[in-house]
Chains A and B, each alone.
Chain A
Amino acid sequence: MIVEKIFDHISNWNKVWFGLIFLGSVINAVLQKFNLFDDSPYVLVFAFGAGALIGLVAKIRGAWL
């Protein structure tokens, strides 16, 4: 039952999780590598927020592209 719920959650929210974790990490790494927003304390929030937002938009649209 719990496994089923986990599977349901993953299949329903996988785009948002992917956006938050994968895209967020990549955006954060790119921002740091190119010293963008260097003096801002909110780089991490921006990077992971942008990733999660992209994922959320993909979930609402039902497709990434």
Chain B
Amino acid sequence: MRESPDIAADFSFEREKAIAKNFSQRFQWEMILIGLGQAAIWLSLWPLVLNGLLDLLTGFLIASLCACFAYLPSHEAQHGNYSRGNPKLRWLDSFVGHISLITLKFPYHILRITHMKHHAYTNDPEKDPDYANAHNTSVLKVIKNVLDGSTLQFGKYVEVFANDKAFVNAFHQAIPLAMLFKLAPMVLVIIYPLETLLLWWLPAKIGSVYTTVFFSYYPHLGTSAGRYKDTRFWSHWMPRFVNHSMQLHFIHHLHPSIGHYDEPKAIEALKPFLVAREVPGADQIPDKITFNPLIKI
């Protein structure tokens, strides 16, 4: 990476990378537990509700909670953070990535390839698949667009990246699963209409809104293109434990291999680098992040 002459040697990319590496090695067992756990709980809701052992509205609330927990474990898988470069563990990425996303009705491979492009072209209006969400004018419009399904422009990105064989192949590989996720609720709804609505369709929408608002919109709001400029530190009234700590998403964009639950410690260690590089909002990062809810009223 070419360094700006204004950056002191103390804050070089090599040093930053070396520090980040210390937080990029731990096995992400919590994420596996959350990913597979929420999918198992969600699946168990069906027999419980259908056999009258659980009230449908309670099932709906639990399913919605599961849907909100569904994306992040898959996101870690998309970055290969379970296998960590070990070819023998690559199945684990794929397994957790696929299973975790059943609740949200999304095919893993499509989210994986579009997310990789989001990292490569963050805030590029033409090439960033998250651009429409991240640069919307209000959170209400983001919610409307997600509910509407109008931000899912996967077809557009197949055209944009038509020359990227790996992208196109992975996209086509995911089509059967995408079709299954479209067809399965259509068949289920005929047999179990209200259960399909309240255990799958609506929770998946709620989970998608939650994920888009906190993963795509807030972290990139008002940011520009560039490694140290495309994601920001932010905070608001909500404790970070409620929104998967997406206030800290900027560190993920800088070092995607840092495990999600290791990000607070990594930021504490890297804070001088982030301030020196003028990451948006870095001057407001508190010295202690671990267990800090980061509330700003």
**Do residues B148 and A64 form an inter-chain contact, with CB atoms below 8 A?**
yes
**Do residues A21 and B190 form an inter-chain contact, with CB atoms below 8 A?**
yes
* A26 CB contacts on chain B under 8 angstroms: 189, 193-194, 196-197
Residue ID in chain A nearest B185 by CB atoms: A22
**Do residues B193 and A25 form an inter-chain contact, with CB atoms below 8 A?**
yes
* B57 CB contacts on chain A under 8 angstroms: none
**Do residues A30 and B194 form an inter-chain contact, with CB atoms below 8 A?**
yes
**Beta-carbon contacts under 8 Å, B161-203 to A:** 182, 185-186, 189-190, 193-194, 196-197, 201
**Beta-carbon contacts under 8 Å, A7-65 to B:** 10, 14, 17-18, 21-22, 25-26, 28-30, 33, 63-65
Question: What secondary structure prevails in chain A residues at the interface with B?
Answer: helix
Question: What secondary structure prevails in chain B residues at the interface with A?
Answer: helix
**Do residues B150 and A63 form an inter-chain contact, with CB atoms below 8 A?**
yes
How many chain A residues have a CB neighbour from B under 8 Å? 15
Residue ID in chain A nearest B201 by CB atoms: A22
Q: Give Cα distance in the complex from A22 to B204, angstroms.
A: 15
* A10 CB contacts on chain B under 8 angstroms: 182
Q: Give Cα distance in the complex from A51 to B38, angstroms.
A: 32
Which of the four size classes fits the interface of chain B? 10 to 19
* B189 CB contacts on chain A under 8 angstroms: 21-22, 25-26
**Do residues A65 and B201 form an inter-chain contact, with CB atoms below 8 A?**
no
Contact of A18 among B144, B186, B190, B193 (CB under 8 A): B186
Contact of B194 among A14, A33, A63, A65 (CB under 8 A): A33
Q: Give Cα distance in the complex from A10 to B196, angstroms.
A: 21
Residue ID in chain B nearest A6 by CB atoms: B179
Tell me the smallest distance from the CB of B103 to a CB of chain A, in Å. Answer: 18
**Do residues B144 and A29 form an inter-chain contact, with CB atoms below 8 A?**
no
Contact of A28 among B144, B148, B193 (CB under 8 A): B193
* A21 CB contacts on chain B under 8 angstroms: 186, 189-190
Q: Give Cα distance in the complex from A33 to B194, angstroms.
A: 10
Residue ID in chain A nearest B179 by CB atoms: A10
Q: Give Cα distance in the complex from A64 to B146, angstroms.
A: 11
Q: Give Cα distance in the complex from A64 to B151, angstroms.
A: 12
Q: Give Cα distance in the complex from A28 to B190, angstroms.
A: 10
Would you call B149 an interface residue if the criterion is a C-beta within 8 Å of the partner chain's C-beta atoms?
yes
Residue ID in chain A nearest B145 by CB atoms: A65
Would you call B147 an interface residue if the criterion is a C-beta within 8 Å of the partner chain's C-beta atoms?
yes
**Do residues A64 and B147 form an inter-chain contact, with CB atoms below 8 A?**
yes
Interface flags, B141-160, vs A, CB<8A=1, else 0: 00010011110000000000
* B148 CB contacts on chain A under 8 angstroms: 63-65
Q: Chain B interface (Cβ within 8 Å of chain A)?
A: 144, 147-150, 182, 185-186, 189-190, 193-194, 196-197, 201
Q: Chain A interface (Cβ within 8 Å of chain B)?
A: 10, 14, 17-18, 21-22, 25-26, 28-30, 33, 63-65
19 extra interchain contacts, Cβ-Cβ under 8 A, other than A26-B193, A33-B194?
A14-B182, A17-B186, A18-B186, A21-B186, A21-B189, A22-B185, A25-B190, A25-B193, A25-B196, A26-B194, A26-B197, A29-B193, A30-B194, A63-B148, A63-B150, A64-B147, A64-B148, A64-B149, A65-B148
Please name 20 pairs of A and B residues whose Cβ atoms are closer than 8 Å in the assembled complex, sorted by A: A10-B182, A14-B182, A17-B186, A21-B189, A22-B186, A22-B189, A22-B201, A25-B190, A25-B196, A26-B193, A26-B196, A26-B197, A28-B193, A29-B193, A30-B194, A63-B148, A63-B150, A64-B149, A65-B147, A65-B148
